[in-house]
Structure 1
């Protein structure tokens, strides 16, 4: 087989494969190649200028972790039992899932056992948090160091194939979270091979990846295409694109490459950005001058709904909490809250306005909880730790019946009480202590006693974050699960709920009763404790209600109890 590696500064490169050494030949552009024996599973690495043998930067498998030899993976040998023609993004419902805490076992195979639950729930795509290798066994995955490989403790490449194939058998698409803005602090061998990083730009994690270099851009784009092509994924979630420097050329090239692959494979593929920019260009088509990504997370929706539900006003919640009714109104109607307005958290103007006529609403993702919004809290506490079941039901209705693409965080559908905390398994004692001390120092500055901050390195922190499925049979969890299933079923049967159109006739009262139209449907959620009155003609049909509703009175007024949501349909369009 042919082995290749990019090492432009090396004078000599030696391939070590199955215990033998083979001098490699240099090509133009600093690429080295050599034909040598190798089949699926062959262990190999490269020595630069007679230095230590390092794993291939494009390794598909690292059986012994980031510092061990690579193993050859032949994607043509993957066993696929189910055909898959793909599932597009419009009309989708995503489910964010972390393999290491979705089950106590923390493996792809253990997660497969619970795919029937997700199929019955009615979601369309599983969004896997990063699965690239990192030192140790357990971690969030955002400190991965091998962007082409699959974390061995999860099950490696073969385990991912089994998981994706099983998901397809249940009609579920799979999206993978990938990180192109930095690599982890330990086990990163890229700098030894070439100038992958630059001091011209900096990120919160140090020197930036040099996306101005064509070889570096190609490294990450080829990796993205390999995930989509070889593992039959439906899409990628791009972590923190605001930290890519520069970003425009890379994102445009990536989106064009993915669209070309989609055409070649005859199945839909999509890219979802996590972005702190509130920039419409992210999802504007390339032909219109944008980056051409297919959707982006919308934290403004989360922040507006979170402050309305909880009353929290610290940090970036401050601008939303100043007038929760206005914040909800603006984000539901226009997508972004900060669209050129002043952000007190940032101390400057932030964002740009969307043009609803040019941006289908499904291009924004709506969610009440994510790994970030839970895990970056001091105790990793979910909304269910603080809110009544009624308010959780209201949050579900506003998310699942919004014009946006809904996303759930694992366990949300039954109001899981398990926290989701920040956990690591760094093997370097100095790094482990630095992370532990930094976490405690960060939250101590906000008034949390250091003794209450979970130790990221403790195995118990990860175990506390694993889902507890014994909750499913107990109230109120069973009732919440039934509510989520019912709302998701309505999205399948009521075409208005998956329309690309934005909201009609939205009102949010000062006491936070939200009502809006979607075609013939009226969605209403009363976040207040007292009852609210809404207009509903006498022949209105109740499609879903968290609590029993009476009939409208002679004036067409319906009393909606406090902390209650409902979906109503009238035989004629509301006017």
Structure 2
């Protein structure tokens, strides 16, 4: 048992309801209040001044009746990692997964039952989209309002712990996507307790989190510690950190990296922090002693944009700057495309160059992910428009990126199901506003209103679920075999893993639409043109996307790619 505590610095009176009985709480230092002891299983919530409603615990670990209901006290939890020694990020392939649409059941236990597929695929990490509690039954997860509670429709905290333990038993690390830059629109009671949000200032998603307040910072830091200590996760993906406005002497991200390093030393296993950042700035992973934040790695959207344009020819919106094929050569050798250069979409210079000594694995790259698919009007994957040959080339560009590759669930077999934007707001007005806002957003970009599915329609969610029956049918089975072969090749060949940027080179022929990526003694050859190509390379073909790629000398037909160990 433990005494119930809550931070409510502005309240004059605080009470707690436990299993129907009400008790006063006593103020202690720093705006905290303390009350009676809780036993596991007790239902409880707080009463603030004259508010007649009982509010759930901001740090509660379980919300069995949803974000508007009472919290349930849980026993103290320490992750059982057994003999799991952890995994470092370098050289591993990440698999991004949304619990609700990965399986027909949409639960953590059902996802755990599908882990054999990921083990056979050869990935090193499972990255879960946010699982913290949100209002409704299904959601992408980025509208969470109870950061310490695992969404009940996914199975709650016990199912989450089982999932992590099962992953570790199968040799898979777990990365958890967390959102510290905003809270969702429904069920966010934190402002009733204290100044969790700034009274002025907003980002894309709503009011800013108040990082000027030390207890709000501690709220975030303690939440990060919970995932590592209580559940045993191996790393966190930090959503849109560019939206974390912080004027403190030590930025929140630097504090987080420092505390995470200390925790890793105590736990005796590596812990990873990956930033999603729109800044294109190595400050994210630069050591704290050098003025950086000391995180492990960051996403690189530039790699996605360049690969997407090269594969599809789409050049609208922010894709315009990536129209030349040379953009793909740049991101594959310099990490960022915008590195102090003009961004037409932003209408300003953007980004900071990366040095030759930067290790490529510090960037996480992908050719598909939840954002870049789900934020298209129809949520269409590359498989909706590309030929099997082009999808195989996408596999080469994705898996054999010099950085840390990430796949989005279903990409590995060219899933035909879309992944659309879906919500289940119970409030009719909020649901209507969400649907209308989605239509208006895409209308500004020239999309037909009829092409935008209603996010509140349950069918939008259901059609976004993977169809596992596709795996054994063509062309899915062939593409899946190619992904498995590429991941195994990456694991087997040291030249394909984690070089320094200064060791990379690429040759691009804009007219012929061909690329040569130099990786030590290997060459990755890509022919996006419409004619046969003889790149002047002789050697052993280690992988080819088509049977008609020939060697001695190497010849690639149109729309093919190959990996060659050069002779001599």
d(CA) in 2 for partners of 1:495, 1:549: 27
What does residue 562 of structure 1 align with?
A: 558
d(CA) in 2 for partners of 1:48, 1:445: 44
Matched, 1:467 2:466: yes
1:29-77 Cα deviation digits (max 9, x unpaired): 10111232x2222211111114221111001111111111111122437
d(CA) in 1 for partners of 2:115, 2:167: 7
d(CA) in 1 for partners of 2:82, 2:228: 16
What does residue 271 of structure 1 align with?
A: 273
d(CA) in 2 for partners of 1:39, 1:139: 31
1:127-150 Cα deviation digits (max 9, x unpaired): 000001111101101000011110
What does residue 386 of structure 1 align with?
A: 385
Matches within 5 A, 1:183-262: 183-246=183-246, 249-262=251-264
Matched, 1:139 2:161: no
Structure 1 residue 530: Cα displacement: 1.8
Structure 1 residue 529: Cα displacement: 2.5
Residues 367 and 408 of structure 1 are in contact (CA less than 8 Å); yes or no, is this contact kept in structure 2? Answer: yes
Structure 1 residue 495: Cα displacement: 1.4
d(CA) in 2 for partners of 1:474, 1:504: 38
1:224-277 Cα deviation digits (max 9, x unpaired): 111111110000000001111127611111111111111110000011111111
Residues 14 and 50 of structure 1 are in contact (CA less than 8 Å); yes or no, is this contact kept in structure 2? Answer: no
Residues 5 and 56 of structure 1 are in contact (CA less than 8 Å); yes or no, is this contact kept in structure 2? Answer: yes
What does residue 293 of structure 1 align with?
A: 295
Output the TM-score relative to the length of structure 1: 0.95
What does residue 110 of structure 1 align with?
A: 110
What does residue 150 of structure 2 align with?
A: 150
d(CA) in 1 for partners of 2:343, 2:199: 29
d(CA) in 1 for partners of 2:481, 2:441: 39
Secondary structure at the residue paired with 1:258?
helix
> Structure 2: any 5+ residue segments left out of the alignment?
none
What does residue 66 of structure 2 align with?
A: 65
Residues 365 and 406 of structure 1 are in contact (CA less than 8 Å); yes or no, is this contact kept in structure 2? Answer: yes
Matches within 5 A, 1:402-413: 402-413=401-412
What does residue 171 of structure 2 align with?
A: 171
Residues 98 and 129 of structure 1 are in contact (CA less than 8 Å); yes or no, is this contact kept in structure 2? Answer: yes
d(CA) in 2 for partners of 1:298, 1:499: 15
Structure 1 residue 390: Cα displacement: 1.1
User: Which range is displaced more, 15-24 or 451-460?
Assistant: 15-24
What does residue 320 of structure 1 align with?
A: 322
1:3-44 Cα deviation digits (max 9, x unpaired): 1111001111112112222211111210111232x2222211
Cα 1:221–1:122 shift into 2, 3 Å: same
Secondary structure at the residue paired with 1:408?
strand
Secondary structure at the residue paired with 2:41?
coil
d(CA) in 2 for partners of 1:240, 1:74: 32
Structure 1 residue 568: Cα displacement: 1.2
What does residue 40 of structure 2 align with?
A: 40
What does residue 309 of structure 1 align with?
A: 311
Equivalent residues, number: 562
Residues 96 and 129 of structure 2 are in contact (CA less than 8 Å); yes or no, is this contact kept in structure 1? Answer: yes
Secondary structure at the residue paired with 1:191?
helix
What does residue 517 of structure 2 align with?
A: 516
What does residue 479 of structure 2 align with?
A: 480
Matches within 5 A, 1:409-420: 409-420=408-419
Residues 18 and 44 of structure 1 are in contact (CA less than 8 Å); yes or no, is this contact kept in structure 2? Answer: yes
What does residue 11 of structure 2 align with?
A: 10
Structure 1 residue 546: Cα displacement: 1.1
What does residue 22 of structure 2 align with?
A: 21
Residues 13 and 50 of structure 1 are in contact (CA less than 8 Å); yes or no, is this contact kept in structure 2? Answer: no
Structure 1 residue 445: Cα displacement: 2.7
Structure 1 residue 167: Cα displacement: 1.0
Output the TM-score relative to the length of structure 2: 0.96
Matches within 5 A, 1:399-478: 399-478=398-477
d(CA) in 1 for partners of 2:496, 2:18: 56
Structure 1 residue 374: Cα displacement: 0.2
Residues 542 and 566 of structure 1 are in contact (CA less than 8 Å); yes or no, is this contact kept in structure 2? Answer: yes
> Structure 1: any 5+ residue segments left out of the alignment?
none
RMSD, matched Cα? 1.5
Residues 508 and 515 of structure 1 are in contact (CA less than 8 Å); yes or no, is this contact kept in structure 2? Answer: yes
